[in-house]
Structure 1
Amino acid sequence: MGSERNEHPYGSLKDGDKISDKHKRELGRVRSSPTFRLGTLFTKSVEKPWRLLWLPFSILLLLVQVVKERVGATPRYSNSEPFTGESEQRNCVVFFPTNGVGLGHFTRLLSIARRMNKADPDMEVVFFTTSPTLHLLREEGFAAYHLPGRKEFSNMEASTWNSITEEMLSNVFAIHRPKAFLFDGSYPYRGMLNAIVRRDDILRIWVRRGTFKKNAPNVPIDSFDIFDYLIHPGDSVEPNIDEDETNNSIIHCDPVVLLDDEDIVASDVLKSRLGIPEDEIVAYIQLGAGNINDISSDISIILGVLHDAGVWAVMGESLLGSRIEISELPNVRILRDYPNSRYFSSFDFGVISGGYNSFHEAIMFSLPCICIPNSKTGMDDQFARAKVAEDAGFMLVEENVTRPRMKNLVSKIIDPENRQSMVESGNSLRKPNGASQIADHIARLIFRD
């Protein structure tokens, strides 16, 4: 992998490139606005009176076009000049993970960033994110800019929040002058798109999973063409993205997880830390971020069944969700860490949702699971993902949690022979870590010249 020291200084918000870019963005915004375009129709009609005959039809067509642009059915009209900055780029990559219902977007980009930084320690890693988990980036030594999501503000208009996003991200580009920009999110923010659309000098990459529900909202049609590459991390099912609808270069890779085998700690570490006897059966419970739907009733049933079966339960507490009230059951412990998968050798089996991270971590580190897909995610089709593991014999899938059903599943998975059979079945699903593949590919793109 190529390497290059950061000998060029940081940019300034007061230099000519930054000031010129800001004025060009403002001018392009004005020229692209419906009001300006409507005014242009009147002006041309005055210049050439014969056009007055067609003016009502031209106005109607413009209105239809504007509506289609607003709903994302057609690319937005743009009358902006391209970026023409002359400052030298620095050996820097900017990562923009969005804050979803969990830490999936954040974890994928952190995984890629760690491997790129390991291969090239001189590369500057900069995160620009809506996720509140900045302390995790500090532990890695990565700089970060934080913009709270729009819903964190009271009644803030989308246009206002997108304007903030555009200005902040443009400032990050002006200061760090990156060679590449990576976005991981299901839906691209308009403010972000406005900040990168003219930046042909930056390699723009969208890391986008493809396991979406059939009724998931469509992204604006012009979003894809603004990026130079789309990266589709692997999943248990084939991506349901129509690649023919984009003009991008598509990069496919294996599933992305944060850790590798050498990062998993010994089984006695967590048991000693949580006061769990060494020879007890221990189950890991992680049913999602806890900020989509009320999962307390499911957890109550699961904990009761595990207690009756003599199984210790370690509940993974999300860094994004509310604190879990500690159960009165004596064999329950709470784990609030990141990533919890580093302790998977301490568990005999798991009870998880079908989220991307938990699912592929279980496969990567051979943790047989009872999977309870979350049906209330916005876009992620967890059931389709989990069904593949069930068909392979690695997971037991249950959509409707009841005490009799959980009792049946737990009785199966606590049997040592059944668990061993599930582990062996999971080997067919295990693949190399796609994070290393993506890091190598991006490095080749950056240094190909």
Structure 2
Amino acid sequence: MTAALVLVSAAVLALCLVVRPLSAWLVFAGVLGVLVSVGLLVAVAVSWVSGRTEARLRQRIERLEATVHDTRAKASRHEWAQEQALERIELTSREAATAASQTAWAAWRGIAAEDEVRPAGVAPRVLFVTSNGGGMGHIARCAAVLRHADRALDGRMLTLSTAASTVAAAGYDVTYFPSHTTAGVSHDRWRRQFTRRLLDEIAAYRPESIVFDGTWVYPSLTDVADLVGLPLVWLRRGLWREGTDLTQVKSWRDHVTSVIVPGDIAETRETAPEVFRDATWVDPVSLAPASLMPREKALASLGLDPERQYALVQLSGGNGDGSATAAAVQAVRDAGDIVPVVVRSPLLSSAVAHDAATIDGRFPLVDLAGAWEFTVTGAGYNSVHENLHTGTPGVYLPSAVTLRDDQERRARAVAGAGLGITADAVDGIAGAVAELIAGRHIDEVRTAIRDNPSAQGAASAAEAIVIPAIKRMAAH
């Protein structure tokens, strides 16, 4: 059609050249025809070029889509293969773990069947496992349960605390395993090593149950307890700071068999968070002995002059042996004729020298509580309740750096009940010590503690611990 229009336009122009006189209409028609023809030619050319470009672009898109499809297919095949490999690895790991646990458990059953028959009424074996906190709270609490168990159980401790040797020197059956931080290995590697160590302990010791004292139950404990069929009891200190992650507490049945909560001067079942109430609560637990060593005997064992009076300064577990200890020593010296006694903490590799009598860390130091007129300590669980169980007045400096233990609230509760004095900060120690000494407030605090006795809950904790162990022994 375009070609015909061009021919017609050319014929009209030619006719204009031969026809006389010249016709304006013919000229207009010829020019118009040429313009239309050129426009049509341009349109056709543009259309052809556009179509060709579009075709090439479509081909590129199709090739790109094919590449993407192929890549996705290859990736899917790779992911599938990877998933299969991971499943095989997990299966192999589970089989290996199961085989190891079965081997350990078979060894336990074989030894038990070969060399002994556990008669009815024999004390069940309990493996106590503790984490590594800022002080000695976890390992001391387990030792307290063992001390006051009155043969209700036979216990061994596997601890991550670097104070293990100090506790072992006191006659406790303790073995040490370095924490993840101390070992300097990855979490995955540490977990594998810890799992193997737990299996070794179970094979060697053959416990009827496991007790864990710490703020977070390690997955290795749950896995091993499930594999070998042992009850796992969580001995969980309360009075956690607000904002602490309670995920594991809310789902404790997914991790442990039961939970035991030692009581606290600053918390009861009724005042604790609701998720804590569905547990076994006992009175406060401490290493305090049933009866105190006489003052003269305690001082003699420490090599101290019985003609002098002494105050124990023990600030660790978040307070350290630095400025707080120096301030406490100076405060005791300034407030009266009382000699400050500083304990070198077993948790510290070195100790700072202070103008005070110095003794090596002893365990349990609470046995010598009769030597002190009062103590200057942190407001940790053990420090506070050991004083309350022994009737010892105290000045408490709560630590603000403990991750979960709300020492500020515990210190306020003690002070509010008239059972001690609180120093809000290091620069408040001098005033608190002076307040305790002046006006014979030491006697007033001692009397208040005696009139409001705190029951010892360690024996009750031991009874609660052995219940699942005895059930398991009866089942076997």
TM-score interval, smaller chain:
0.7 to 0.9
1:106 is aligned to 2:136: no
Task: Please say if residues 240 and 406 of structure 2, whose CA atoms lie closer than 8 Å, have aligned partners that are also in contact.
Answer: yes
- Give the fraction of aligned pairs with identical amino acids, expressed as a percent: 21
> Cα deviation per residue 1:408-434 (whole Å; 9 max; x = unaligned)?
323322246321111122235432211
Which has the higher Rg, Structure 1 or Structure 2? 2
Give 1:133's aligned amino acid: A
1:320 is aligned to 2:347: yes
Q: SS of the residue aligned with 1:112?
A: helix
> Cα deviation per residue 1:51-73 (whole Å; 9 max; x = unaligned)?
xxxxxxxxxxxxxxxxxxxxxxx
Question: Which of 188, 193, 211 lines up with 1:164 in the alignment?
Answer: 193
Task: Please say if residues 188 and 223 of structure 1, whose CA atoms lie closer than 8 Å, have aligned partners that are also in contact.
Answer: no
1:260 is aligned to 2:286: no
| Post-superposition offset of 1:295 | 4.8
| Post-superposition offset of 1:274 | 5.0
Task: Please say if residues 314 and 335 of structure 1, whose CA atoms lie closer than 8 Å, have aligned partners that are also in contact.
Answer: no
Please give the alpha-carbon distance, in whole angstroms, between the structure 1 residues aligned to 2:266 and 2:225: 31
Deviates more, 1:124-133 or 1:156-165: 124-133
Map 1:353-372 to 2 at 5 A. Answer: 353-372=378-397
Unaligned runs of 5+ in 2: 1-78, 88-96, 113-117, 119-123
Please give the alpha-carbon distance, in whole angstroms, between the structure 2 residues aligned to 1:293 and 1:244: 30
- The 3 A distance-change label for structure 1 pair 357 and 158 is same
Please give the alpha-carbon distance, in whole angstroms, between the structure 2 residues aligned to 1:266 and 1:416: 26
1:186 is aligned to 2:215: yes
2:470 is matched with which residue? Answer: 447
- The 3 A distance-change label for structure 1 pair 295 and 337 is closer
1:282 is matched with which residue? Answer: 310
Unaligned runs of 5+ in 1: 1-34, 44-79
- The 3 A distance-change label for structure 1 pair 124 and 424 is closer
Question: Which of 329, 340, 345 lines up with 2:370 in the alignment?
Answer: 345
| Post-superposition offset of 1:217 | 3.8
- The 3 A distance-change label for structure 1 pair 97 and 302 is same
Map 1:29-44 to 2 at 5 A. Answer: 39=83
Please give the alpha-carbon distance, in whole angstroms, between the structure 1 residues aligned to 2:455 and 2:283: 6
Task: Please say if residues 217 and 379 of structure 1, whose CA atoms lie closer than 8 Å, have aligned partners that are also in contact.
Answer: no
Give 2:460's aligned amino acid: Q
Q: SS of the residue aligned with 2:279?
A: strand
Please give the alpha-carbon distance, in whole angstroms, between the structure 1 residues aligned to 2:290 and 2:156: 26
1:74 is matched with which residue? Answer: none
Q: SS of the residue aligned with 1:427?
A: helix
1:306 is aligned to 2:306: no
Map 1:125-136 to 2 at 5 A. Answer: 125-136=155-166
Give 1:378's aligned amino acid: L
Question: Which of 417, 420, 423 lines up with 1:392 in the alignment?
Answer: 417
Please give the alpha-carbon distance, in whole angstroms, between the structure 2 residues aligned to 1:171 and 1:271: 43
Compute the TM-score of the two structures, normalised by the length of structure 2.
0.69
Compute the TM-score of the two structures, normalised by the length of structure 1.
0.72
Please give the alpha-carbon distance, in whole angstroms, between the structure 2 residues aligned to 1:367 and 1:191: 40
Deviates more, 1:371-380 or 1:80-89: 80-89
> Cα deviation per residue 1:81-127 (whole Å; 9 max; x = unaligned)?
998867377642111011211111101111212334x425xx64322
Give 1:315's aligned amino acid: V
Please give the alpha-carbon distance, in whole angstroms, between the structure 2 residues aligned to 1:140 and 1:301: 31
Question: Which of 420, 429, 441 lines up with 1:418 in the alignment?
Answer: 441
- The 3 A distance-change label for structure 1 pair 286 and 135 is same
Q: SS of the residue aligned with 1:197?
A: helix
> Cα deviation per residue 1:109-159 (whole Å; 9 max; x = unaligned)?
11212334x425xx64322221233335544655443210111123x1111
Please give the alpha-carbon distance, in whole angstroms, between the structure 2 residues aligned to 1:345 and 1:144: 27
- The 3 A distance-change label for structure 1 pair 299 and 242 is closer
Q: SS of the residue aligned with 2:210?
A: strand
Q: SS of the residue aligned with 1:166?
A: helix
2:59 is matched with which residue? Answer: none
1:297 is aligned to 2:323: yes
Give 2:144's aligned amino acid: S
Question: Which of 435, 453, 457 lines up with 1:434 in the alignment?
Answer: 457
Task: Please say if residues 99 and 105 of structure 1, whose CA atoms lie closer than 8 Å, have aligned partners that are also in contact.
Answer: yes
Task: Please say if residues 274 and 333 of structure 1, whose CA atoms lie closer than 8 Å, have aligned partners that are also in contact.
Answer: no
1:198 is matched with which residue? Answer: 227
Please give the alpha-carbon distance, in whole angstroms, between the structure 2 residues aligned to 1:158 and 1:94: 23
Map 1:144-163 to 2 at 5 A. Answer: 144-154=174-184, 156-163=185-192
Please give the alpha-carbon distance, in whole angstroms, between the structure 2 residues aligned to 1:294 and 1:316: 11
2:20 is matched with which residue? Answer: none
| Post-superposition offset of 1:324 | 2.3
Question: Hey, which of these two has a bigger chunk of helix by percent?
Answer: 2
